[in-house]
Structure 1
Amino acid sequence: MADHKHGSMDITVQEKTYNGFLKFTTRFCIAALIFVVFLAVFAT
């Protein structure tokens, strides 16, 4: 079995992907809330 040292793997790509996912999710939720408020104000 190969020797593995905990914490030695390069995870920069995974970190960038996760940060991009968080940014997308945050912006999507904000846009959805703005859309819902827009509908509540202007829809009859």
Structure 2
Amino acid sequence: MANSQDIKPNEKTYDSFISMLKWATPLIAVLVLIVLMIIS
């Protein structure tokens, strides 16, 4: 099992990763659509 002292920093890292993922996914989708429109 994980040491209780390690859980708080890991949760903070996970939360920041998830929040970046929430912004990055739609941004990448928009960039892909723009590239597809330029190509076609």
Higher-helix-fraction structure = 2
Correspondence for 2:13:
17
Unaligned runs of 5+ in 1: 1-5
Matched, 1:34 2:18: no
What TM-score does the superposition give when structure 2 sets the normalisation length?
0.62
Q: Deviations over 1:1-44 (max 9, x none)?
A: xxxxx687132111010011111122211111010112223x04
Percentage identity across paired residues of the two chains: 18
Give the length in aligned residue pairs. 38
Root-mean-square deviation (Å): 2.1
Between structure 1 and structure 2, the one with the greater Rg is 1
Q: What amino acid is the match of 2:18?
A: L
